[in-house]
Chains A and B, each alone.
Chain A
Amino acid sequence: MQNLPKIVRERLRAATPAVDHPDADVLTAFAERSLPKHEQGVVLEHLARCGDCRDIVALALPATEPGEAVANRSSSGWLTWPALRWAFVAVGVVAIASLGVVRYQRGRTQNMAASAPARSEIAAKGAREAAAQQTSKDDYASARVAKSKAWAAPSKSEKIPAPPPSAFVDSRVAPGSRFRDQEKERDEKKSTLRADRFQALGPLPPASTGRDAGSRIGQLAHGPRVSNQWQQNTVQNQLQNQAPSASSPPKQQAAGDLSANMEVPRASETVEVQTAQTTAQTQSPDWLQVQSLPAQVTSDSAPAVSASGPAPSGAIGGPVATSSGSIPRWTISSAGRLQRSFDQGNTWQDVDVNANLASVVGTSLEISANAARASKNKDARQDLKREAASAAFRAVAAAGTDIWAGGSGLYHSLDAGNHWTRIVPASADAMLTGDIVSLEFSDQHGKVATSTAEIWITTDGGQNWQKQ
């Protein structure tokens, strides 16, 4: 703590009380904070000058309550309220921002469908607004807008910040069905567009870096078409363009995942396409040049609009890539199945946490498992089995290859979902009950909320748990 200059100390001490000492009643009321504001000010002014009365107030303090002791003791902890409140604020801001964007995009959908001629202007405006609205995607959006004007520079996608791991889970998973529908539409549309696009491939430009190419592909997922195709599919595609673009906030974060950002400016991409098409046809060749797609095309369905693309819900299969350097994205299907995608969301594969269930960890679960066996309690055993089989998920948090998934049970994987450990948060006297409804994990700190309004905290990556 800073030292106070001697002279300041002196002058503080030299101050004499302006009013008489407050009587015991007033001092008590002050200490218990039941004095009205102006009287409180008078007492404070006296206390500023009178050491005796300060001593009295200090001595008359009640004994420390246990609650206070806890607060003081853990003041250096990560999880105490003063520190945590900012985390909550951040989560709240992100949630609100993402919801706001979603609503805005939806609104734009309706506008677009309504007025055909004014579409381009609205679209152009929307592009600017959409670009402006992206919070954590600002860099990317502005880069995109810049690109539509001048395609010379290589992508600035490297600058896109990956969203913080712990912040996103709740807001993304909770309003589940809406996003999943949009995802479905998005994927359907993607397949349509891709098919169309390939019919008129222009010369491919030399891709500067693999990453750049990937990002550009992302950008052009609903890419610019050749004009004739475009006119044919205008109406349908616009409708489709708008709907999925509403799912702007990425569902799950994956550290360093470009495609997380890919979703967001989709609206602006599409809009720019329209703008470009209607205003400057000369730009088309540029757009077409920036394509290098083959690796990404995993399934070309029929160009029919309603073709069932690789929708996330229920799609099983596709390569379970254990290739190094490939970090999957995660989602939970509308049926509550945990899914991951190694191709930036084009295809999704169900993940069966029990296939490679490494172990069931958790004091109480082992105890109850043992108890079940020991007491030959059929019900308990069946419960466990049923739970393991159904494993309905409600939340997933992923940071690189460190995945947490929760639902009827809590599962943890350290290798991007190939091997799982079942974890049951338990402390000396309690065990987690209910379903898990939300997960927040960041570094070694995790917080799990259940449907029975319990909150469990870990500070060591899941080894030890405490109920809040």
Chain B
Amino acid sequence: MKSARAAIATRRGHRVNDGDRAMSSTKQNFAVEAVVNDVLADLYAKSGCDKVGLARESFAAILCEVGAKHATAATSGSEIRTFLLTLRVDELALARACAAGENSAWEIFLTRYREKLYLSALRIAREDSAARELADTLYADLYGTNTREGKRVSKLASYTGRGSLEGWLRTVLSQEYVNRYRRTKRLVSLDEESEEGVQFRAPEPEPLPAADQRLAEATDKALTVLSSEDRVVLSAYYLDGRTLAEIARMLGVHESTISRKIDKLAKSLRKQIVAALGRRGMSRRQAEEALEVDVRDLQLDIRRSLAQESPAPAFSEKSVEARVREGPG
């Protein structure tokens, strides 16, 4: 947001400085506040704040904070209004009351979400002890056992009501799990690799031979024209090893849609890359050869990606297969 504002300011010829930025954000806050005051009555009624022990002023402040976080300089008043009206204010009130340490709120929270939290953790971790650990860790975070500057910090304070609280809890659990698992999995993979006798080398940037350069370019080009959804589907299926059903549910479409999409995409990608390579001077046969899956090179991939610092998949293709075969959660 800041850079957008700066860009606009620069275009207008103004010099960007902190003062400018502060002023625009204050202006923005005023705008948000105005909208909040407008809708406060409705939202307060919907939220059941009194039941969870949240004061009206605190609720208003929360709405302002959430609104400001979402709005940019370009957001109009009506957009802010629409946004605020789509929030799940009852769950927001509950979560923030819990974050503030209200006992009545916590009682309600535990009644509603304790069991679900554990069950979700079990589904995610797929194993009892890991699930318990995961759930307990999250509980501690939610309750706010961490303190910063003497003030209790609860993860629930970061819930903004855009999605359901239950869904948010699942997401947070998954985030926690992925972070943990990724850390340990890497170690496990390395162990596996050394056990199997595969050489593990320090990463070296191998210069791509000329043919590969053309191939990489052609592939990149073919991939960029795909929509984000298409690429998500392909990555989820071929890189993450997700099942068709999982991908379908992730995107909210029918399983057969995903199946058809993947088939279509795989075929068309192949065709496009061959065509692009042809334009770059490769013969058709050469192009098709270049596209063949080379099993030996798969291992090379694993080594390379394991060695990378930056985002890389936690799971190698082999482990992905194993995980998928173990069965879904």
Contacts and interface: CB of A to CB of B under 8 A. Distances in A.
Interface string B93-127: 00000000000000000000000000100011000
Interface string B292-306: 111001100100010
A41 interface: yes
Interface stretch (B17-25, B51-59, B143-151, B162-170): B162-170
A33 B86 contact: no
Interface in B254-278: 254-256, 259, 262-263, 266-267, 269-270, 273
Nearest to B123: A63
A1 to B, nearest CB: 6
B167 A52 contact: no
Interface stretch (A11-19, A117-125, A160-168, A272-280): A11-19
A57 interface: yes
Nearest to B313: A51
A4 B226 CA distance: 15
Given A16-B311, A32-B164, A57 B240 contact: no
A57 B222 CA distance: 26
Interface string B211-228: 010011001101100011
A44 B163 contact: no
A50 to B, nearest CB: 6
Contact of B178 (A13, A15, A52, A63): A52
Given A5-B270, A50-B311, A61-B250, A12 B231 contact: yes
A58 B250 contact: yes
Contacts of A52: 178, 182, 311, 314
Contact of A25 (B159, B215, B227, B298): B159
A61 B249 contact: yes
Given A6-B298, A28-B167, A48 B235 contact: yes
A357 interface: no
Interface string B167-210: 11011111101100010000000000000000000000000000
A72 interface: yes
Nearest to B301: A10
B310 A34 contact: no
B163 A31 contact: yes
A60 B223 contact: no
Interface string A9-47: 111110111000001111111111111000001001101
Contact of B223 (A11, A27, A28, A31): A11
Interface in A200-252: none
Interface string B237-251: 111101001110110
Interface of B: 86, 119, 123-124, 158-164, 167-168, 170-175, 177-178, 182, 212, 215-216, 219-220, 222-223, 227-229, 231-232, 234-240, 242, 245-247, 249-250, 252, 254-256, 259, 262-263, 266-267, 269-270, 273, 290-294, 297-298, 301, 305, 310-314, 329
